[in-house]
């Protein structure tokens, strides 16, 4: 048996309106194109899962090797999901029956205008899927299958603000989600908090603080327990300093370190009433 036959297939997750008018487009155009090049393809309505559909969609976007999104009709859910996929740095192939359904600021992304020709869609999409599944370089986001959340908000969106209680140390509780199919043993990844001056030491979270050449401080949090595929854990961090002056609002970077590289998430901290 050849080595390639034992490798798991690349996974393509499909974002499109749940409308019977798209059934043939999905079954024969999109799913057929993926099958033609040996890529596994699914929509969320084909899957059996617990929990909300929205959480499942976010989960599958995080896990997917690439995504195909049909923008026909400018469905707001599809637009939002495409934005989330782009925020994660995923490879997304956009489809549409009419060119005007792809907004100007998305036209520079790979897209296919297929009209009513499912056969032509299948041929062109197979070529694109093959490239992204087997030729395009993997992004750090794909290699590091760890996602961070503040409550229900994914930090990968890049627009998350946490308001902490007035009169307390700047702090937040972060949920860590293993969105990959791999198990992370203790030490396989670490989480660091990069904070600006004057936040030069940590309290309550046993972090090791290092002064960085750019003047910021890296608060390296302790190792986590084993994190299985699909599992969650959480961590709280607290920032402090010896200075009496503190900014009312500032940005921090939460950095995941692993053997595959690192991945950054931004978070803005604001004191209540600031």
User: What's the pLDDT score for residue 37?
Assistant: 93
User: What's the pLDDT score for residue 140?
Assistant: 52
User: What's the pLDDT score for residue 142?
Assistant: 53
What's the pLDDT tens digit per position in 77-97? 999 898 888 877 788 899 999
Q: What is the 3-state secondary structure (H, E, C) of 54-119?
A: HHHHHHHHHHCCEEEEECCCCCHHHHHHHHHHHHCCCCEEEEECCHHHCCHHHCCCCEEECCCCHH
The C-alpha angle with vertex 225 and arms to 227 and 143, in degrees rounded to 5, equals 40
Q: Structural domain tally of the chain?
A: 2
Q: Is the pLDDT of residue 263 over 80?
A: yes
93 and 70 share a domain? yes
Q: Is the pLDDT of residue 6 over 60?
A: no
User: What's the pLDDT score for residue 116?
Assistant: 85
Q: Is residue 99 part of a domain?
A: yes
Assigned token pair, 117: 């020709």
Q: Is residue 2 part of a domain?
A: no
133 and 149 share a domain? no
21 and 96 share a domain? yes
249 and 151 share a domain? yes
- Of all residues in the chain, what percent carry a pLDDT higher than 90? 36
150 and 267 share a domain? yes
Domain region containing 65: 7-137
115 and 158 share a domain? no
Q: What is the CATH number of the domain that holds 99?
A: 3.40.50.450
Q: Is residue 40 part of a domain?
A: yes
Domain closes at, from 78, 104, 137: 137
What's the pLDDT tens digit per position in 20-41? 888 999 999 999 999 999 999 9
Mean pLDDT of 139-159: 79
DSSP 20: G
Q: Is residue 1 part of a domain?
A: no
Q: Is the pLDDT of residue 3 over 50?
A: no
149 and 251 share a domain? yes
Candidate ranges 30-44, 56-70, 137-151; pick with highest mean pLDDT:
30-44
64 and 152 share a domain? no
Q: Which of 38-42, 177-181, 224-228 has the lowest mean pLDDT?
A: 177-181
More confident residue, 144 or 2: 144
DSSP labels for 204-217? SS--EEEE-TTS-E
User: What's the pLDDT score for residue 70?
Assistant: 93
Q: Is the pLDDT of residue 138 over 70?
A: no
Domain closes at, from 86, 106, 137: 137
152 and 228 share a domain? yes
Rounded Cα–Cα distance for residues 105 and 83 (Å): 11
Mean pLDDT of 213-230: 90
132 and 155 share a domain? no
């Amino acid at each position: 048996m050849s080595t390639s036959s034992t490798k798991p297939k690349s996974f393509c997750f499909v974002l499109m309106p749940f409308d019977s008018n798209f059934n043939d487009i999905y079954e024969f155009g999109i799913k057929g194109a993926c099958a033609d090049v040996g890529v596994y393809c699914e929509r969320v309505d084909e899957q059996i899962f617990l929990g909300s559909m929205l959480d499942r969609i976010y989960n599958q976007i995080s896990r997917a090797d690439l995504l195909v999104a049909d923008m026909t009709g400018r469905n707001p859910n599809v637009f939002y999901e495409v934005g989330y996929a782009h925020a994660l740095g995923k490879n997304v192939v956009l489809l549409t029956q009419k060119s005007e359904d792809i907004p100007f600021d998305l036209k520079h992304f790979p897209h296919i205008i297929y009209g009513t020709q499912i056969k032509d869609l299948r041929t062109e999409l197979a070529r694109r899927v093959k490239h992204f599944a087997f030729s395009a370089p993997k992004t750090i986001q794909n290699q590091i299958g760890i996602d961070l959340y503040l409550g229900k908000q994914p930090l990968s969106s890049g627009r998350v603000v946490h308001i902490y209680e007035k009169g307390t140390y700047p702090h937040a509780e972060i949920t860590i989600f293993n969105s990959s199919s791999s198990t992370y043993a203790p030490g396989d990844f670490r989480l660091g908090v990069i904070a600006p001056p004057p936040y030069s030491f940590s309290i309550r979270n046993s972090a090791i603080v290092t002064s960085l050449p750019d003047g910021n401080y890296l608060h390296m949090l302790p190792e986590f327990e084993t994190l299985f595929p699909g599992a969650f854990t959480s961590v709280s961090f607290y920032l402090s300093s010896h200075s009496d002056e503190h900014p009312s609002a500032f940005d921090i970077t939460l950095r995941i370190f692993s053997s595959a590289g690192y991945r950054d998430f931004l978070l803005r901290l604001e004191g209540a009433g600031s």
